[in-house]
Structure 1
Amino acid sequence: MFNKQTSNAVIINVKGLEKSFNLQKILDNIHFEIKNGERIGLVGLNGTGKTTLANLIFGKTLPDKGVIEKPNDIKIGYLTQSIDYEVNDFHEYMSDAAENDLFQHASELGLRKVSDWEDNRLSHLSGGEKLKLALSMVWASKPDLLILDEPTNHLDFTGIEWLTTELEKFHGPVLIISHDRHFLDQTVNRIFELENGKVHFYNGHYSDYRKEKQLRLENQRHQYNVQQRKIEEIDSQMEQLKSWSEKAHRNSTKQEGFKEYHRVKAKKRDSQVKSKMKRLQNEMEKQRIEKPLEEAKVRFEFDHHGKRGKRIIEAKMVTKVFGDRTLFQDSHFYITQGERIGLLGENGCGKTTLIKMILGTEAPSKGEVWKSDSIKIAYLNQDVSDLPIDKSAIEALGYTDRESIFKARTLLANLGLKEGHITKPIGTLSLGERTRVKLVDMLMQNYDVLILDEPTNHLDLPSREQLEKTLSEFTGTIITVSHDSYFLNKLCDRLLVFENQQIKRVEMKPEEFLNKKTKDNINETFLVIENKIAAILGELSIIDQKDPKYQQLDREFNELIKQKKGLIDK
């Protein structure tokens, strides 16, 4: 029977694993172990096989070669990358939720009164709400091992904090596929990097991995350059020996009386050349250092010049209600040209709904969302399933003139989608690769406003970093929903905060606002504790120490002092 309490025991043992798709080898003779209690971050570029490896470990996919040894009775909690679960799946799990703690986990994640939800509510879930329900289902299954594929995509800061805390309490091994740098730094202690079908191993969290990888690359680059200089030196020596050999052969045919001498000399030179070449080739094969693969360089290009400061969007006493559920009411805010606005709030508070109002695809229940008639808006949404799966990337973009097709191909290549990718049906591309196709559609046109709903979801790390850089150079207006802390703090200098059924404009960066909110919460908690301490001291002063209640109050007093000290230390 599987014993989840055995520390450092090998839970998963992968031997000689291979997997190919469409004649392309994705995983090539992979070996590794996962021990109990380990926290592993699985990273790599889009399309390198991370989700494929997760599916193989879970048993959803079978390998072409190799074995995955794991206990027969192990229970794996697998959060898949696509969280578009059917309403029926949620219904089925919620029918016995009282037994499996689903409601409790959902409540902790910020989903209120899930037990009272009707079919209509389940049919209108945001991406974040779907993810929270899926996470609740995974935790409620009481797994022995966790596989989480992009668990922070769509997840608000409350959800990320819950997930981080729960992972600290979880005793089994965890494999996390993620491009969220901050989250990986908080949760993992090893990194597995998939690259060219192989797995490379690093100890530590994500930042440690980046430093060590950079050092490895620099060392490999140095060794490779030394090897190249050695090869040049050897080539020079070989050319010299060949020159001597050719001279000996020429002399053997010219000088009468010395032909035999020079013929023997020529043969000797030939022998020397062949012997040295063979020796050097053998030496080079044994000590060959491959040229290091340069990290992916991704280029995004926007072409826009706009006037800053002009008010282009304004909400006037806007309210939105679905049935008996109010998302926000009587809210007023404005957005001016050139601003970087982050939308901040819990899952299901109405961020995507507001975006739809700005786009004109959703009407407010009351009030008005006004926008300038002259602005041109591009929208990148969370959903990549709206691309035609049977068409190639170029066909899906719909360009027919030669210049546009050439530009689209160039942009796709800059995003890391080479010819082999852009001629394949979109249905064979990973979610990250499909997101890049949608980005190219935005890049091809000149926009005033970019509305980005979770733009970094499914993007690999080089693409995220380059997108941050490019968006910082864009002169138009950016409105974005993102739960990638690094991305949001680097990009946005103002916020629209969804709180207490209101949308409020806040002149702060996300980090400043969240730190202030945390500080305010601590101050509020501190005052509550102070009041409780004062009340207990008042009771203690009027009762006898022999009174049984005195001991109880004393314990409460000491516990409150401990809580107060904890807040002061923060």
Structure 2
Amino acid sequence: MTIVALNNITKRFTGDLILEKISLQVEQGERIGLIGRNGEGKSTILKIIARIEMPDEGIVSVQKGATVGLLDQMPSVTGTMVVRDFLRTAFGHVLALQAELEAMESRMMQDTSEKLLQNYGEKQARFIELGGYNLDTDMDKILHGLGIPHLADKAWEQLSGGERTKVSLAKMLLEEPDLLLLDEPTNHLDLKAVEWLTQFLRVYGGTVLVVSHDRYFLDEVVQKIVELENKELITYYTNFSGYLVEREERLLKEFKDYKDQQKQIKKMKQAIKRLRQWAMEANPPNAALFRRAKNMEKALNRIEVLKKPALEQKNMRLEFEESKRSGEDVVIFDQVGLEFGTQILFESLDWHVRQKERIAIVGENGAGKSTILKLILGELEPDIGTVHVGPSVDIAYLSQHMDVGDENQTVIEAFRDKVAVVEGDARHMLATFLFYGEMVFRKVANLSGGERMRLSLAQFMNQPVNTLLLDEPTNHLDIASREVLEEALRNFEGTIIAISHDRFFMDQIFDRTVWLEQGQIFSYGGNYSYAAQRRKAIVSRET
């Protein structure tokens, strides 16, 4: 049964055509991944389905009575409201039924009529069916799954943007809508929470449509990929790995069909030209040849000309400006201890990073991953012990917060603040990060998450370095841009230390994985998948 259908949807923003006559049918129970480049209109499709945006043309049909939940919505919440109370609003209908039951219980103190008792019994059965006695248990299960039980008693105004996103996700999962619309749900989650969400969605009772650039997540959750490319939707009935194979086969077939058709059109045009020439050269001119040429021309005009498929899209061109080699010892932590308030973050921490190592740091949110990078950068000092950075180590740091400069600056101004070049060279450099023409004069405040990350990368890549510190570098990048970044990192000759929850990215780039847990470092000589298997085996033996 179809839960939502989009028919010939067209959408424009400030005159720019975003979607053009797209159609999509979502069946009940499906798990669909919606992919495409940043700015193509994926989030707009979700908003149109959720009726937050209205299409300029076309029809949106949603199954009668079906509930739709969209993660992208940032709720309007009173600043002093506690997270637990906010989450309880997900059970509005159940709480209303509970209030009815309590009112009836008060009446039953004086009225024990059979009619009231029967009514109470029916409502109590409905309350049990809706899980009314398990509300707090269900809430705690979601909070622990997403790794945010510590936020339960915090006021909304105390939460960061990322924490509000996770709490909003928790509320939506508790609401259990018939159609769950998720826009980059893994962006603010640690690895443990990503794995929990993966399992939750695999057994979810409703329908899931998710926009994501997390390649392993797409492989594990969805059975259908819908790609938005050049304002068109193309459907693949497989997961992400299968999509890569089928997409290449489709493009090669389309390119062959296009070339074959072009050959046919060329031959027909040549034949028409010859027929007309022969007709003119005949004495008298040959009317039959003119008719044949005219009929062939009509046949040519009836041909539906195929569009030339784009085998290659424009991508960022990334190449690091490398400085001289660093010494063998890049970073040494010697008996490092650090406390925040009453929390002991590190205690007697020893760690040695050597030249050319590629290290992925993983751990739960709050384990101290970003703090490790800040200690290396000298932004924090340890309470005890020392952090030594080699004298010839030149560091470039890419922050997950994408601090690209003054929000009122233009793109080119923010870039030149960090990279000392003339305007002409700056525009050329920015073009390699897909900032073309007038785009360089857009205000930083008006950039999307993906555009901010591209600007941050542009500033980051044009510094002479031999050591890279990366904090969630793939956040906000589409799949094509992630692949370009991965290729640039493979070609980098220096040392790389990165924090990431992108398992595919870590498997591709890093040959050492450092697990940060309980203030200590557990090091594994292999990529993330190898380290995860090793840890699982160790935990199994210990339990």
The TM-score with structure 2 as length reference comes to: 0.82
The answer to whether the Cα contact below 8 Å between 2:268 and 2:296 also exists between their aligned partners in 1 is no
Deviation at 1:10, TM superposition (A): 2.1
1:377 is aligned to 2:395: yes
1:296 is aligned to 2:333: no
d(CA) in 2 for partners of 1:401, 1:158: 38
1:48 is aligned to 2:40: yes
| Residue equivalent to 1:535 | none
Deviation at 1:156, TM superposition (A): 2.1
The answer to whether the Cα contact below 8 Å between 1:144 and 1:172 also exists between their aligned partners in 2 is yes
1:390-433 CA distances to partner (integer Å, 9 max, x unpaired)? 54432331279997544544444444444364444444443112
| Residue equivalent to 1:151 | 185
SS of residue in 2 equivalent to 1:396: helix
1:225-240 pair list within 5 angstroms: 225-240=259-274
Unaligned runs of 5+ in 1: 1-8, 249-261, 526-570
d(CA) in 2 for partners of 1:295, 1:177: 22
| Residue equivalent to 1:107 | 144
Deviation at 1:74, TM superposition (A): 4.2
d(CA) in 2 for partners of 1:335, 1:495: 12
Change (3 A) 1:126 1:479: farther
The answer to whether the Cα contact below 8 Å between 1:408 and 1:444 also exists between their aligned partners in 2 is no
Tell me which amino acid in the other structure corresponds to 2:16: Q
The answer to whether the Cα contact below 8 Å between 1:47 and 1:429 also exists between their aligned partners in 2 is no
The answer to whether the Cα contact below 8 Å between 2:323 and 2:464 also exists between their aligned partners in 1 is no
Deviation at 1:155, TM superposition (A): 2.2
Tell me which amino acid in the other structure corresponds to 1:182: Y
Deviation at 1:459, TM superposition (A): 1.0
SS of residue in 1 equivalent to 2:463: coil
1:439 is aligned to 2:457: yes
The answer to whether the Cα contact below 8 Å between 2:513 and 2:523 also exists between their aligned partners in 1 is yes
The answer to whether the Cα contact below 8 Å between 1:93 and 1:137 also exists between their aligned partners in 2 is no
Deviation at 1:46, TM superposition (A): 0.8
Correspondence for 2:15 among 23, 29, 33 = 23
1:29-428 pair list within 5 angstroms: 29-70=21-62, 74-80=66-72, 91-95=81-85, 97=87, 99=135, 101-115=138-152, 122=158, 127=162, 132-244=166-278, 247=281, 262=283, 264-265=284-285, 272-282=292-302, 284=303, 286=304, 288-298=305-315, 299-304=317-322, 306-307=324-325, 310-384=328-402, 386-398=404-416, 404-419=422-437, 421-428=439-446
Q: CA RMSD in A?
A: 3.1
1:208-267 CA distances to partner (integer Å, 9 max, x unpaired)? 22211111111111111111222332333244335435645xxxxxxxxxxxxx3x4166
Identity across matched positions, percent:
34
d(CA) in 2 for partners of 1:317, 1:131: 36
1:468 is aligned to 2:486: yes
Change (3 A) 1:438 1:269: same
SS of residue in 1 equivalent to 2:285: helix
| Residue equivalent to 1:3 | none
Q: Quick check: 390-399 or 496-505, which moved more? A: 390-399
Tell me which amino acid in the other structure corresponds to 2:488: T
SS of residue in 1 equivalent to 2:189: coil
Change (3 A) 1:52 1:111: same
Change (3 A) 1:414 1:484: same
d(CA) in 2 for partners of 1:274, 1:425: 56
1:32-58 CA distances to partner (integer Å, 9 max, x unpaired)? 222221101000011101111112222
Tell me which amino acid in the other structure corresponds to 2:356: G
The answer to whether the Cα contact below 8 Å between 1:342 and 1:492 also exists between their aligned partners in 2 is yes
d(CA) in 2 for partners of 1:400, 1:306: 20
The TM-score with structure 1 as length reference comes to: 0.78
Change (3 A) 1:58 1:366: farther
The answer to whether the Cα contact below 8 Å between 2:323 and 2:465 also exists between their aligned partners in 1 is no
Tell me which amino acid in the other structure corresponds to 1:79: L
Tell me which amino acid in the other structure corresponds to 1:36: Q
Q: Quick check: 182-191 or 294-303, which moved more? A: 294-303
d(CA) in 2 for partners of 1:330, 1:273: 89
d(CA) in 2 for partners of 1:97, 1:289: 52
Change (3 A) 1:423 1:126: closer
d(CA) in 2 for partners of 1:307, 1:53: 48
d(CA) in 1 for partners of 2:31, 2:239: 9
The answer to whether the Cα contact below 8 Å between 1:421 and 1:429 also exists between their aligned partners in 2 is no
Change (3 A) 1:14 1:513: same
Change (3 A) 1:279 1:95: closer
Task: Report which of the two structures shows the higher radius of gyration computed on alpha carbons.
Answer: 1
| Residue equivalent to 2:448 | 430
Deviation at 1:472, TM superposition (A): 0.7
Change (3 A) 1:438 1:245: farther
1:432-468 CA distances to partner (integer Å, 9 max, x unpaired)? 1221111111222222221111111111111111211
1:534-545 pair list within 5 angstroms: none
Q: Quick check: 202-211 or 355-364, which moved more? A: 355-364
Number of aligned residues = 495
Deviation at 1:389, TM superposition (A): 4.8
d(CA) in 2 for partners of 1:131, 1:520: 33
Deviation at 1:88, TM superposition (A): 5.8
Tell me which amino acid in the other structure corresponds to 2:2: V
d(CA) in 2 for partners of 1:208, 1:90: 47
SS of residue in 2 equivalent to 1:398: helix
The answer to whether the Cα contact below 8 Å between 1:378 and 1:450 also exists between their aligned partners in 2 is yes
Change (3 A) 1:130 1:451: farther
d(CA) in 2 for partners of 1:234, 1:403: 54
SS of residue in 2 equivalent to 1:163: helix
The answer to whether the Cα contact below 8 Å between 2:327 and 2:392 also exists between their aligned partners in 1 is no
Unaligned runs of 5+ in 2: 89-134
